[in-house]
Amino acid sequence: MAKNRQIYLLDPQKIPPETIAVTFAKTSRSLESFREIAAELNDLKSAEFNEKWVVGYGHSSVAEHAVLHLALENISRLAVETLESNRLASYTEKSTRYQKWDRDAFFVPPELENHLLRKPYIQTCETLFDTYEICLQAVSKQFQSNQEPAENETSAQFERRIRSQAIDVCRFLLPAASLANVGMTINARSLEHAIGKLLTQPLQEPRQIGEEIKKAALTSIPTLLKYADEIPYLREVQRTFAEIKTSAQETRTDWCELCDVDPGALDQVFAAALYHEQQIPYSKATEWMRQASASQKETLIHTLLQTGNRHTIPARELEFAFFTFDLLLDQGAYFEVKRHRMMTQIPQALTARLGYATPRAIEAAGVLDRYQAAMETARLMYSSLAEINPALAAYVVPNGFNRRVLLKLNLRSLVHFIRLRSAPNAHFSVRRAAQKMYEEVSNQIPLLHDIPGRNEEESSLSIERDYFFSTCQ
C-alpha cells in the first residue's frame, strides 16, 4: 500500500540548526521519517556527525541545512558592502531612500584612534551630515511648492511622499561611514566563507564584525563554524594584482561600456530552449537555429520574454547569453546594483578621484554651493586619509561619488534588472543605469529592442536631463 504524502516543518525553536542539518543528511541512508530521525538525535550526536562528515570528510553540503538569522546593528555602510559581497544569503538593510540619517550616525574607524586626522575626519562627517540636513529641508520645501496632493491623498501621505523624494535626492551626501542595520539569513556553509572574507579584510571594523558574527553563530552551530578563519589565499590574490604596475589612465570615454557580447548569443538561447523541448542533441539544435529565419527568431525571442508581468522569472534558457558591462556609477546607484547578486560583480575600491554626481533638485532648491562645498571637503579629507591608507579613506566618501564596477550577467538576469530598475519607483540614478544598459544591448542585438516590462517613458539621456545637474564633477 502506498504511503501518504506528508509535508511539514521542522521547528527551529525545538530543534537546533545543527540537528536539522544532520536530520536531512541522514535521510540519504535511512528509511525513517524526518521526525523519527530528529527524535533520535541530540546535540552530542549531531556534533559528532558534523565533526566526522562535514569537517572530517568535507561533505559541506550538509551545512547548508543549518540556517541562521543574524541581526547586525550600527555597522558602517562600507562594512555592509563587504558583508553583502557574499551572494548566497539574503539581506535587508536600512534604506537611504526612505529613512533619514541622524547627525551622529557615522562610524569612526579605530585606526584613527590617537591620530592627528581623527578630529578632521569627524568634522568632515559632521559637515556632510549638517549639509544633508540643510539640503533635506530646502529640497523638501522646493518639492512641496511645486507639487499638489494626489486625488484622495491625505496631507500626512503627501508630506511623507515629499519627504521620501527629498531623501532620495539628499542621500548623495551620506558617507560610507554612515551607520546602518542589516538583517542576514544565511546557511552555515556560506557563513563560514563570509566570516573568512571579513577576517581577511585590511580594515579593523570588518575583521571585528567577522569575529563577533562567529562568536554569536557558535552558540547555535558550534561544530559547523569551528574552523571559520581568515583566508590567506584572498590576501595573496589582492597583494599580487595590486603590485602590478600599469600605464593605463583613469579617464574613459563612456560611463557605460558593453565591452563583451557574442553576436550569436541569442542563437545559443534558442538552441537551448529547442534542446529542452525536443529529443535531439544540442549540436542538432544549434544547426537548426543557424538555418532559422529572422521572423522565426523574432517570434522565439518574443515568446521567451513575454512573461506576462515583471514578477514572473523568464525561462532558464536565457542564461546561455552573456554580457559584460564596465560601468561608472555613483555609490548610491551601485548599492542598488549590488543587490542583484546572481550577476558577477567586480567593484573597484571606493574613491573620491572619479568625480561626483549632483542632482538637479539640489540646484533648484538653491543649495548647490553648500552641496559642492561639502563634497569638496570630503574629497580633500579622502586625499589626506589616502596617504595613510586608501582603504581607510573610503569611509569618508559620500554616496554621490562615482566608482567603477564590472558586471557580467546572463540575459535572464539582465531582463530582470532592466524591468525592475527602470520602473518609475526605482531611484533615478539606477534607472539611468538600467536604461543605458538596455540601450547598449539593443544597439548590438536589435532582436532585444522590445523587453516587455521596461519603462518606455524614459531613456538614459532624458533621466540625465531631468534629474542631474551634473553626473561627474
| Average pLDDT, rounded, for the chain | 90
Q: CA–CA distance from 341 to each of 109, 177, 419 (Å)?
A: 28, 23, 16
Mean pLDDT on 174-201: 94
Residue 318 DSSP code? G
C-alpha span between 378 and 392 (Å, rounded): 13
Q: For residue 461, give the H/E element and its range.
A: helix 460-467
Mean pLDDT on 64-89: 91
371 contact partners, CB below 8 Å, separation of at least 6: 131, 135, 172, 173, 358, 362
Phi/psi zone of residue 438: left (φ > 0), alpha (ψ -120 to 50 degrees), beta?
Answer: alpha
**The whole model's pTM is what?**
0.90
Q: What is the dihedral of CA 362, 364, 369, 373, to 10 degrees?
A: 10
Residue bearing the bigger pLDDT, 23 or 55: 23
Q: What is the strand order of the sheet 67-76 is part of?
A: 67-76, 179-187, 90-93
Residue with cell 496631507: 155
Q: What is the pLDDT of residues 92-137, one digit of tens each?
A: 988 888 888 888 999 999 999 999 999 999 999 999 999 999 999 9
CA nearest 20: which of 71, 64, 55?
64
396 contact partners, CB below 8 Å, separation of at least 6: 121, 124, 125, 175, 176, 177, 352, 378, 381, 382, 385
Phi/psi zone of residue 187: left (φ > 0), alpha (ψ -120 to 50 degrees), beta?
Answer: beta
Q: What is the pLDDT of residues 336-369, one digit of tens each?
A: 999 998 899 999 999 999 999 999 999 999 999 9
Q: Could you tell me how far CA 151 lies from the centroid of its own chain? A: 36
Q: What is the pLDDT of residues 267-291, one digit of tens each?
A: 999 999 999 999 999 999 999 998 9
Residue with cell 554651493: 369
413 contact partners, CB below 8 Å, separation of at least 6: 319, 340, 342, 343
Residue 57 pLDDT greater than 50, yes or no? no
Residue 255 pLDDT greater than 80, yes or no? yes
- Which of helix, strand or coil describes residue 4? coil
Q: For residue 67, give the H/E element and its range.
A: strand 67-76
| CATH numeric code, 256-348+403-470 | 3.30.1360.170
Segment among 23-32, 84-93, 103-112 with least mean pLDDT: 23-32
35 contact partners, CB below 8 Å, separation of at least 6: 8
**pLDDT of res. 253:** 65
Residue bearing the bigger pLDDT, 60 or 467: 467
Q: What is the pLDDT of residues 386-418, one digit of tens each?
A: 999 999 999 999 999 999 999 999 999 999 999
Could you tell me if 79 and 201 are in contact, meaning their C-beta atoms sit under 8 angstroms apart?
A: no
**pLDDT of res. 263:** 80
DSSP string, 171-204: GGG-BTTBEEEEEEEEEHHHHHHHHHHHHTSSSH
Residue bearing the bigger pLDDT, 153 or 51: 153
Q: What is the pLDDT of residues 413-437, one digit of tens each?
A: 999 999 999 999 999 999 999 999 9
Residues of the chain with CATH 3.30.1360.170: 256-348+403-470
Is residue 49 very low, low, confident or very high in pLDDT (cuts 50, 70, 90)?
Answer: low
Angle in degrees, CA 439, 469, 392, rounded to 5: 90
CA nearest 336: which of 127, 97, 45?
97
218: cell is: 557558535
C-alpha span between 179 and 176 (Å, rounded): 8
**pLDDT of res. 52:** 63
Cβ-based burial of 133 (10 A; exposed 0-12, middle 13-18, buried ≥19) = middle
Residue 78 pLDDT greater than 60, yes or no? yes
**pLDDT of res. 234:** 93
**pLDDT of res. 68:** 87
Residue 160 pLDDT greater than 60, yes or no? yes
Taking each helix axis as running N to C, give the angle between helix 294-305 and helix 265-277, from 0 to 180 degrees, rounded to the nearest 10: 70
Mean pLDDT on 62-77: 88
Residue 53 pLDDT greater than 60, yes or no? no
How many Cβ atoms sit within 10 Å of the Cβ of residue 418?
A: 23
Strand partners, 324: 260, 408
